[in-house]
Structure 1
Amino acid sequence: MRPHSRYFLLKEDVKAGAWFLGDPLDALGQKVEDIWAFTEGRPVQAQGRLKIPVIEPGLRLEFSAAGVGATPIVHVRVATVLAELAPEDVQLIPVEVEGCPDQFLMLVATKLVRCIDETASREVQRYGPDDGRPEKLGQYQSVAGMRIDPAQVGDAKVFRTWGWTIALVVSEDIKNSLERAKIEGATFEEV
């Protein structure tokens, strides 16, 4: 672990007038069967070139969360930073964004880290036996005010959190590089 490491949730900075992207589609224009596979913290097998529909036209963001799975879609400028600083932590899959000539890629964090600090987080709730979701037993049902234990992260710079994979976490050096590049659409929250 790097001493005094800080980590941040990387999220879309939702603004009025910005585009809204839909769920990924396969090469035939059908919804991808398992949209959640892109946020599970492991590499994925892409079946042909994926297409991303624009549900609401507007300002094109360089970091967007597409569809209900909030799959990160990033401009090539973002992908370049991530590929340089965290090549072992990311899978970048070229996608075609409807009506957009710019090069965009889907960002898949390939590491899953068990690091949520339950005592430091504001509130955590886990799935129990009475919740009717046996496949989620022990995983987080909700996490508010999430904090992580940096000692558990190891050398990961981009990762998903075990049990709460909707959280996409980046290291401080990734955050700083994206901020220096003035990436449109990204916001950071320290965890």
Structure 2
Amino acid sequence: MPLGTEDEVFDTWRFHEGRALDIKEPICLSVKPAGVALEFSHSMGIPIVNRRVVSLFERLGIEEEVQFVPVEVEGQSEPWFILNALQVIRCIDDARCEEVLYWRPEDGEPERVGEYRNVAGMKIDPTKVGDASIFRPWGWLVVLIVSERVKLAMEQEGITGIKFIEV
């Protein structure tokens, strides 16, 4: 659970907006249960990575597409970072997804009508992605998408904790 100053829960949704953030307060992460540290993990839907992932992204020349926000991880002395993807791309291919549900007026959330309520078996339209290496899909921001080049590099590097699903 990410915590800011005064042990207040940190607003993690800020990391789904696709923009660089000016973080002033320190972010601390507790680890429950304790175990082996993975180089790529998630906390409340936000990617948490170690220095090897940062170095890999720098070698790939894609550090402009992400912001690495330092965090303190309970029980860890090495540096850790929140990986904040800086792009949101409207690319979900509704027709090819297994199921797409939208918010409707009768759902009781009028401000969300027409937005995605659920996306199962997500597929994207690669023609809308361009040369992006890492991004979140517009309308379904809980997902982080990487290019095939980034996927292969992470696998070749042996980054622990990653799981890829073709979209």
> Same-fold call, TM > 0.5?
yes
Distance 1:83 1:53 in 2: 27
1:59 aligns with 2:36: yes
Matched letter for residue 111 of structure 1: Q
**Match of 2:3?**
25
Alignment of 1:16-165 (within 5 A): 22=1, 24-32=2-10, 34-67=11-44, 70-85=45-60, 86-165=62-141
How many residues in Structure 1 have an aligned counterpart in Structure 2?
166
Matched letter for residue 26 of structure 2: R
Matched letter for residue 132 of structure 1: G
Note the residue ranges of structure 1 that are not aligned, 5 or more in a row.
1-21
Stretch of structure 1 that moved more, 81-90 or 145-154: 81-90
Deviation at 1:28, TM superposition (A): 3.0
Give the % identical residues: 43
Distance 1:30 1:84 in 2: 36
Matched letter for residue 158 of structure 2: K
The alignment's TM-score, normalised by the length of structure 1, stands at: 0.82
Matched letter for residue 78 of structure 1: V
Greater relative contact order (Cα 8 A, min sep 6): structure 1 or 2? Answer: 1
Matched letter for residue 21 of structure 2: V
The alignment's TM-score, normalised by the length of structure 2, stands at: 0.94
Seen in structure 2, the aligned counterparts of structure 1 residues 100 and 155 have a Cα distance that, compared at 3 Å, is same
Deviation at 1:103, TM superposition (A): 1.2
Deviations 1:94-138 (A, max 9, x none): 110011112110001110000000011111011122222233222
Matched letter for residue 163 of structure 1: G
* Structure ranking higher in helix proportion: 2
* Structure ranking higher in strand proportion: 1
SS in 2 for 1:107: strand
Any conservation in 2 of the 1:41–1:109 contact (CA below 8 Å)? yes
Over 4 Å off, 4+ runs: none
Deviation at 1:77, TM superposition (A): 0.5
